[in-house]
Amino acid sequence: MAHFTLSPRHRLVVRAVAEGLFAHDDGPRPEQLDRVVARYEEQVGAVSRQLRPVLLLALDFVRWLPLLLLVAMRPFEELPVERRTALLERMERSRLWPLVLSFVAYKTLLTMIFFEDESEQRAMGYPGPERKRWLTRAA
Amino acid sequence: MADARGVTVVRGRDRRAPVSLSADVVIVGSGAGAAVAARELTRAGRSVVVLEEGPFVAPSEYGRLPPMGTFRRCAREAGLSAVVGLGDSPFISLLQGRCVGGSSVLTGGVCFRIPEEVLHHWSRDLGLPSMTPEALDEHFRVVEEVVHVETVPDHMRSRGTQLFVEGAAKMGIEMKPLRRNTQGCRGASRCNFGCPHGAKLSVDVSFLPDACARGATIVSDALVDRVDVTGGVARGVRGRFLDEDREGRVPFEVRAKVVVVACGSLHTPVLLRSSGVDSPHVGRHLTLHPAVRVSALFDEVVEGWDGAMQPVFSDQFASEGVTLVGVYPGVSVLAAGFPGVGRKHRALVHRTPNLAVFGGMIHDEGGGRVRRTFGREPLVTYRMAPEDRPRLVRCIELLGRMAFAAGAREVAMPIFGIDTLKSEKEIDDLVARPPPMRRVECTAFHPLGSAKMSRDPRAGAVRETGETWQVDNLFVCDGSVLPTSIGVNSQLPVMTVAHKIATGMAADWARLARRAA
């Protein structure tokens, strides 16, 4: 757990997927992407030695998807962010089950990590851990 | 040694030299079944060692961990466990605990008794005469008292829950308050990431402290490789202490008169098979209660996070194999479930304050199988039974219609690759042309039945007493012994059946000890 590190190649792909998934007018910011990569590394480091290669293989699958789908002759991380977003949308709607599965696995994991960021939670209107409703009984 | 709320845990990862222990009973696992067994056996005067593969995480830490941090520390495969769907079956995300307290740390705390019609089926049709509502009543009562089962009060229903209840009422669906094992709930809506207020009485803060007070030894980071069996009688277990990298380098053994396997429906079959129990029923008959949820967007601000995570349910469709259960799984989890990518996804995420969520699960027929692999984790497959497919569609349909009846503007359905629905007409279309099951976004929290009890060895892996048919003094004491799915959350039923098995062992101790001599 403490000793697993992603290869530089896999870091680039995770970062590129996250940038495509969360692209918007003002971001995501580089430090947010750094955080996603770091948390992803921790998550993969915490899984078994059986599951870990499967997750990394899925990353390689995404990496070479532009070639496999004849979209571009470059790996995923070298595409402009708009094309990455479009490719991810295509994966989500695909009829090919391996594409959908890879997409869902990475979207779920990276989205949960990305939106644990306090600034993102504030931006979506989430006030944090404080609650009011339980006090109605105390009152 | 680590201590919190009366639980003293020996951390296996700190051990540098081989360890040999002896006890009357060694229990493999520390979750809902194991903890109950530990308490009951220590109360009967037995010396008990509890071995947990996962780490000890003090309850005081739960509130400081973000959801993914909790999964990294407390969940098997860091929360990324999954069941591979075969044929037209969903790919199912499966949450299992891997820490002291097991999955009870990660449940929503929902407590149901086993429905009477299920128990009638077990006792009458399956030939299990001690599994009747009357025979289990006292066991339920004891467990409910220890974990403080209480009804969720109306004022703890979030606005999101209220909206779904209103939608259900318009459809003539009755909602009932749920019961949970809580005390002092503040409605943080994050029960499944460990209660930050210590209000959920998971077994690490209920049964295990009592067992500890009576002398039980709890060891974390202790992976059991096999049960020692000599002359057809279980004699103890062997394994390795895991370090922070989950590598096992320091061996241990525990000699015991009785071995209780309680590592859950996925790992109990693995350990039984590794130990030479080769019944064809070990690892088969796995049921999951596949579950779905819909997210509904309203014009009003809902703030669905402010309230109990799971406050109400409906059993009105139990005869159709569908149970509807209120749920709010946390904002980052919800964000992951929204369709779309980039700006489109972000626009939906930013409407989270207007979001209400409701869930449901099906009482499935089984079709799951646990297989050993080259490593520690099993391969779990699931071939959804043909009769379960319309149940799942019905469940999704009901949830979607409830949302629109409540006034939702848009509804995100648990189906990969489709946009949010804008009208009930789109639900009609969905029902008329159901999606392939493999496109349905499913989760599961209640794996059961992979070493089921039976009246004879041709039909199951263990006797009604929990003892395996093949090896004397080897008991199974977790959800894997339940002979069918139950259609309701399984935490309380697992604890109750464990209580029945453990009290039976205590009553029969003289005979078990003679066998072990």
Options B139, B285, B289, B446, the catalytic residue: B446
Q: Which of B444, B462, B494 is the last residue of a domain?
A: B444
Residue where the block lists tokens 């041709």? B458
In angstroms, the CA B33 to CA B257 distance is 19
From A78's Cα to the closest Cα of chain B, the distance in A is 18
Q: Are A48 and B345 inside 8 Å of each other by CB?
A: no
Give B-chain residues touching A100 at CB under 8 angstroms.
416-417, 439
Question: E strands, B86-178, where?
Answer: 92-94, 149-151, 176-177
Share of chain B above pLDDT 70, in %: 99
In angstroms, the CA B450 to CA A17 distance is 38
Q: On the CB side of B383, how many CA atoms lie within 13 Å of its CA?
A: 7
CB B183 within 8 A of CB B148: yes
Q: Are A123 and B441 inside 8 Å of each other by CB?
A: no
B236 phi, psi to nearest 5 deg: 150, -165
B423 and B435, same domain (yes or no) = yes
Q: How confident is the model at residue A2 (pLDDT cuts 50, 70, 90)?
A: low
Q: Which of B396, B424, B444 is the last residue of a domain?
A: B444
Q: Are A94 and B417 inside 8 Å of each other by CB?
A: yes
Q: Are B439 and A23 inside 8 Å of each other by CB?
A: no
B342 and B218, same domain (yes or no) = no
In angstroms, the CA B253 to CA B29 distance is 15
- For chain B, report the end-to-end CA distance as a whole number of angstroms: 32
In angstroms, the CA B28 to CA B240 distance is 13
Buried b or exposed e, range B215-233, using 16+ CB within 10 angstroms = ebbbbbbbbbeebbbeeeb
Identity of the residue in B188, B336, B375 whose CB atom sits nearest the CB atom of A48:
B375
Among A8-12, B130-134, B374-378, B403-407, which is the least confidently predicted range? B374-378
**CATH number, position B62:** 3.50.50.60
Q: Which of B154, B295, B332, B352 to mutate to test the interface with A (most CBs of A within 10 A)?
A: B332
The predicted-structure confidence for B178-196, as pLDDT tens digits, reads as follows 999 999 998 888 899 989 8
Identity of the residue in A48, A94, A97 whose CB atom sits nearest the CB atom of B438:
A97
Give A-chain residues touching B305 at CB under 8 angstroms.
126, 131
Please state the separation of Cα B65 from the chain's center in Å.
Answer: 21
DSSP-assigned letter for residue B489: -
B169 and B219, same domain (yes or no) = no
Q: Are A48 and B246 inside 8 Å of each other by CB?
A: yes
B436 and B499, same domain (yes or no) = no
How, if at all, do strands B322-326 and B312-314 pair?
antiparallel
Better pLDDT: B210 or A2: B210
DSSP-assigned letter for residue B114: P
Q: In this structure, is residue A2 part of a structural domain?
A: no
- In three-state secondary structure terms, A82 is helix
CB B207 within 8 A of CB B146: yes
From B192's Cα to the closest Cα of chain A, the distance in A is 15
B338 and B375, same domain (yes or no) = yes
The predicted-structure confidence for A46-90, as pLDDT tens digits, reads as follows 999 899 999 999 999 999 999 998 889 999 999 999 999 999 999
Q: In this structure, is residue B83 part of a structural domain?
A: no
Q: Are B77 and A47 inside 8 Å of each other by CB?
A: yes
B417 and B297, same domain (yes or no) = yes
In angstroms, the CA B450 to CA B225 distance is 19
Q: Are A48 and B346 inside 8 Å of each other by CB?
A: no
Q: Are B72 and A101 inside 8 Å of each other by CB?
A: no
**Best CA proximity match to B225, nearest among B53, B22, B102:** B53
B310 and B396, same domain (yes or no) = yes
**pLDDT at position B247:** 87
**pLDDT at position A138:** 53
Give B-chain residues touching A90 at CB under 8 angstroms.
none
Q: In this structure, is residue B89 part of a structural domain?
A: no
Q: In this structure, is residue B415 part of a structural domain?
A: yes
Tell me if the bond preceding B436 is cis, omega within 30° of 0: no
In angstroms, the CA B156 to CA B418 distance is 33
Count of domains forming chain A: 1
B211 and B343, same domain (yes or no) = no
Identity of the residue in A22, A47, A93 whose CB atom sits nearest the CB atom of B80:
A47
Q: Are B196 and A22 inside 8 Å of each other by CB?
A: no
Q: In this structure, is residue B422 part of a structural domain?
A: yes
Chain A neighbours among B 292-351 (CB < 8 Å)? 305-307, 331-333, 335-336, 339-343, 345-346, 349-350
Q: What is the ipTM of this complex?
A: 0.93
Give B-chain residues touching A43 at CB under 8 angstroms.
68, 71-72, 78, 80
Count of domains forming chain B: 2
Q: In this structure, is residue B93 part of a structural domain?
A: no
**Best CA proximity match to B185, nearest among A51, A133, A37:** A133
Closest residue on chain A to B93 (Cα): A105
Is residue B418 pLDDT above 80, yes or no?
yes
B408 and B494, same domain (yes or no) = no
Domain extent, residue B338, equals 150-192+287-444
Identity of the residue in A85, A108, A137 whose CB atom sits nearest the CB atom of B336:
A108
CB B475 within 8 A of CB B502: no
In angstroms, the CA B133 to CA B127 distance is 14
Q: In this structure, is residue B90 part of a structural domain?
A: no
The pair of structure tokens assigned to A69 is 């789908």
Q: In this structure, is residue B238 part of a structural domain?
A: yes
| Annotated catalytic residue B446 | yes
Give pTM, 2 decimals: 0.95
Q: In this structure, is residue A113 part of a structural domain?
A: yes
The predicted-structure confidence for A81-97, as pLDDT tens digits, reads as follows 999 999 999 999 888 88
Q: In this structure, is residue A61 part of a structural domain?
A: yes
Among A1-10, A111-120, B229-238, B427-436, which is the least confidently predicted range? A1-10
**pLDDT at position A1:** 47
The pair of structure tokens assigned to A8 is 């530089």
B301 and B366, same domain (yes or no) = yes
The pair of structure tokens assigned to B358 is 């409701």
Domain extent, residue A108, equals 8-138
B114 and B198, same domain (yes or no) = yes
The predicted-structure confidence for B214-266, as pLDDT tens digits, reads as follows 999 999 999 999 999 999 999 999 999 999 888 898 999 999 999 999 999 99
Is residue B5 pLDDT above 80, yes or no?
no
B53 and B187, same domain (yes or no) = no
- For chain A, report the end-to-end CA distance as a whole number of angstroms: 46
Q: Is B435 on the interface with A (CB under 8 A)?
A: no
Q: In this structure, is residue B356 part of a structural domain?
A: yes
Buried b or exposed e, range B437-446, using 16+ CB within 10 angstroms = bbbbbbbbbb
Give A-chain residues touching B247 at CB under 8 angstroms.
none
Is residue B505 pLDDT above 50, yes or no?
yes
The predicted-structure confidence for B314-327, as pLDDT tens digits, reads as follows 999 999 999 999 89
Is residue B2 pLDDT above 80, yes or no?
no
For B292-357, give the DSSP string: EEEEEE-SS---TTSS-SS-EEE-TTGGGTEEEEE----HHHHHHHS---HHHHHHHHTTGGGEEE
Is residue B108 pLDDT above 60, yes or no?
yes
Q: In this structure, is residue A18 part of a structural domain?
A: yes
From A85's Cα to the closest Cα of chain B, the distance in A is 6
Mean pLDDT of B117-134: 98
From A54's Cα to the closest Cα of chain B, the distance in A is 12
Identity of the residue in A43, A112, A125 whose CB atom sits nearest the CB atom of B332:
A112
Residue where the block lists tokens 């994050």? B190
- In three-state secondary structure terms, B52 is coil
**pLDDT at position A137:** 61
Q: In this structure, is residue A31 part of a structural domain?
A: yes
From B174's Cα to the closest Cα of chain A, the distance in A is 24
Mean pLDDT of B149-171: 96
Give B-chain residues touching A21 at CB under 8 angstroms.
341-342, 345
Q: Is B375 on the interface with A (CB under 8 A)?
A: yes
